[in-house]
Amino acid sequence: MAQLQEDLPTEREDNKIEPNLKKAALKEIIDDYNQQFSTNHSLNNFDVYYQDVQSRIKNQKYPNTDLAHTEKIDITIVVDMLLTGFDSKFLNTLYVDKNLKHHGLIQAFSRTNRVLNDTKPYGNILDFRSLQDEVDEAITLFSGEDTSTPKEIWLVDPAPKTIEKFQAATQKLAQFMQAQGLENKPEAIANLKGDIARAEFATTFKEMQRLKVQLEQHTDLKPEQVDAIEAAIPNDEFLAFKSMYLETAKRLQSKRDKGEPVPDEVEQLDFEFVLFASALIDYDYIMSLVSQYASGNPKKQTMSKEQLINMLKSHANLLDEQE
């Protein structure tokens, strides 16, 4: 409430300054909107205009089968509206050039934080007001009883720290494989002995996948950072381990669901398949590649049959399509 109590007088005073000019500016905006989208809004039916704007932001489902892209809005400049009480899973970035604090900051930041799928498990905030202190204060205030690590609850680590964690996780996998007397290779996972070892592999690799997803949210990775990630584990090898994880997890989950006796390590395991699913590489995408592979000129292929199969096997939402 502190944010509201401070903002309302400020907004009221601001609205007293040249109200006619602001009204004229808003009319110009609505007129431009009408021309762009062939609508007929006016200041007198502002609520209808406002609802129309919201619908064009929300209706973003790819590949534009719900609404043509020319009928959508990709970027919206706001003062106060849409910063609270507005949900669109497709919003992924907030550019902040306004002083925010307390619940107003949390609510504004949360506009980007509606999880959509593995391509958008987080929101991105670009801050032009140096709000770090306000962010720390708001996060601490709204983290409940656990105030020891509030930032870890709300914010992902900077890229260098996440890269360090990812490198450590890949080393942990290598050490696990060595302890099992196996090569640190994806194909060696099939030789793991016992469900306890399989569960330990699942837990170890799941952490690697979680960190990999976090790294994919950083849009400003430097070339040397990309090289460091690739050096930790080549992407092709990572995808192969990923497919082995999915096979292993599916096998363990099936035994558990059937009520077969399993170790406590398997009983307590959370497979978190959402970390491994994909919305971009979906059924239609894969099937189109299969069609191209089957009917196209082999000289034009950019993906081998083995790569195509590995792609299928590395996505949780395509497990049933592997055959």
pLDDT over 60 (residue 277)? no
Percentage with pLDDT > 70 across the chain: 71
Instruction: Dump pLDDT digits (tens) for 182-200.
Output: 999 999 999 999 989 998 9
Contact 182, 188 (CB under 8 A): yes
DSSP of 233-270: S-HHHHHHHHHHHHHHHHHHHHHHHTT----HHHHT--
Q: Which of the listed ranges 126-140, 158-172, 202-216, 282-296 does the model predict with the highest average pLDDT?
A: 158-172
pLDDT at position 316 is 60
Percentage with pLDDT > 90 across the chain: 29
- How does residue 87 score in pLDDT terms, banded at 50, 70 and 90? confident
Instruction: Dump pLDDT digits (tens) for 49-69.
Output: 999 999 888 877 656 666 788
- How does residue 13 score in pLDDT terms, banded at 50, 70 and 90? confident
Per the prediction, the chain carries an average pLDDT of 79
Place of tokens 């035994």: 255
Contact 196, 265 (CB under 8 A): yes
pLDDT at position 4 is 47
